Amino acid sequence: MTVRTRIAPSPTGDPHVGTAYIALFNLAFARSQGGKFILRIEDTDQTRSTSASEQTILDSLRWLGLDWDEGPDVGGEYGPYRQSERRDIYTKYAQQLLADGHAFRCYLSREELDTIRNQRREQGLPAAMQQDALALPADEQLRREQAELPFVIRMKIPTSGTCVFEDMLRGKIEIEWSMVDAQILLKSDGMPTYHLANVVDDHLMKISHVLRGEEWINSAPKHQLLYKYFNWKMPVLCHMPLLRNPDKSKLSKRKNPTSILYYQRMGFLPEGLLNYLARMGWSMPDEREKFSRAEMFDNFDIKRVSLGGPIFDQTKLSWLNGLWLRENLNTAEFAQAYQKWALNPEYLMKIIPLIQQRVDTFSDVAPLANFFLAGMLDLDETDFKHKSLEIMDIRKILQFSAWQLDSHTQWDKDALYTCLQQLADHMQLKIRELLFPLFVAISGSSQSVSIMDSMAILGPDMSRARVRHALNILGSPSKKENKRWDKEYQALNSQH
Ligand code: GLU
């Protein structure tokens, strides 16, 4: 059997370090077995998927050296590799399941589903709703069919017993069927859900091993059942441990930068970041910390993955990256790599328009632009001195802005302006007052170039990290304060 693994990112945001982590282990496994590694874009969620996100995911994975043998941009025997281009394939298989009696048309409205859900809760029944719970009386089902009302296609689930499946790292996993819902396979717009598209594609693309994050364990029973319904062989499953914040919670952008673009902007070498990701739950036989991609692949054994949640720690990552920077580049290579990182035309073309009108000589540029080439800024309380705002007000503005920016996804200048203007209105502050601490947090000075442009250039994770960093310097809110502010912030948002 030829080993074929894949990474299947959904292009719905910034490229996540977790995606690179899973891609790395899929690639390492494939390479260590003489197999192939495939990249497939799972863009069935048409409301959230964007081609810009797809492009940054491809660019970031490639920057890290995680090259794929088949994919939307390189082609291959089993394409197309973008799910939105495979719609007809999924419809055909959904129809087949209907014809074989393994799936059913569900005409329930959102309100009807809510009612059933609430009734089940009151009766103490499991939350998972299966075909019996979702069935309409036969005549009503027929009426809705004849009236051609919108419907979804759901899969049928065994109503009793236990699903047992094997995981390469975890051995046998058992999940009661009563916990599994009659999953939607095809939405009313004709688009498949992740579950159907994923199983169909893994089969048609001849994927032999699925290495993915442990958050997918609960989906495995549905997938196993679909393979059974189609009479297909299921790939070997391997659920990797999730990356964690230092406080052991799931790695999240609210606490830790998660975007690969952030690590690029911070000035990490791809070799350093990749080496660190390889150390997440995996070790070399001799336990050495610094090793290259090739060394990892030569020594790869999936059994060396340990299941304790690996902590993604910025300090450790910086330390490891430092070794790569100091030991693996000679002076000329360092100079060249630095030039590519800092002084490349693409980046300069974003910065110069903000600077040019404010300078008399080139020597004026660096002092104005240095925060574009920095990581966390060297600030202290005096930098935040303001004529009317107290430090307490400033801390609150920073915390509220951090929350506001956390939930903000559209990261261009105008959208950022609207988002912060709204917050200023809610807090009954002038926009200039609200922006003062942000200017300092983002650029190090209240006199800097346009802050919205700067945030747009620095990107979401770097901007958020700087706001959090400023807050740390001034004193993060205590537990009590946090609770009070959170309540106030929620109230502000719900009023409007
Ligand atoms: N599209 C899924 C994701 O974004 C893929 C999960 C899987 O590997 O099955 O993570």
Beta strand 209-213 pairing with 4-7: unpaired
- What is the C-alpha separation between 35 and 25, in angstroms, rounded? 13
pLDDT digits (tens, 9 = 90+) for 142-176: 999 999 999 999 999 999 999 999 999 999 999 99
What pLDDT was estimated at residue 496?
56
Q: What is the DSSP string of 229-296?
A: HHT-PPPEEEEEPPPB-TTSSBP-TTTS--BHHHHHHTT--HHHHHHHHHTSS---TT--S---HHHH
Which phi and psi (to 5°) does residue 477 adopt? -60, 140
Beta strand 103-106 pairing with 152-155: antiparallel
pLDDT digits (tens, 9 = 90+) for 50-72: 999 999 999 999 999 999 999 99
- The mean pLDDT of 289-300, rounded to a whole number, is 97
Residue 237 token pair: 């499953």
Atom of ligand 1 nearest to the CA of 19: 10
Confidence of residue 352 (pLDDT cuts 50, 70, 90): very high
Please check the confidence at residue 472 and state whether its pLDDT lies above 90: yes
Q: At what angle do helices 413-427 and 431-443 cross, to 10 degrees?
A: 130
Instruction: Compute, in angstroms, the gap from residue 348 CA to the centroid of ligand 1.
Output: 35
The helix (run of H) or strand (run of E) holding residue 333 is helix 331-342
**3-state SS assignment for residue 82:** strand
Active-site residue flag, 253: yes
- The mean pLDDT of 64-92, rounded to a whole number, is 97
Question: Which one from 156, 187, 206, 253 is the annotated catalytic residue?
Answer: 253
Residue 438 token pair: 């942000």
Q: Identify which of 54, 216, 227 to mutate to test ligand 1's pocket (most ligand atoms within 8 A of the CB).
A: 216
CB burial class (10 A; 0-12, 13-18, 19+) of residue 357? exposed
CB burial class (10 A; 0-12, 13-18, 19+) of residue 447? exposed
Instruction: Compute, in angstroms, the gap from residue 106 CA to the centroid of ligand 1.
Output: 25
What pLDDT was estimated at residue 262?
95
**3-state SS assignment for residue 153:** strand
Structural domains in the chain, CATH included, are: 89-193 (3.90.800.10), 350-495 (1.10.10.350)
Q: Atom 10 (ligand 1): residue with closest C-alpha?
A: 9
The helix (run of H) or strand (run of E) holding residue 322 is helix 314-328
- How crowded is residue 52: how many other Cβ atoms within 10 Å of its Cβ? 8
pLDDT digits (tens, 9 = 90+) for 208-266: 999 999 999 999 999 999 999 999 999 999 999 999 999 999 998 888 899 999 999 99
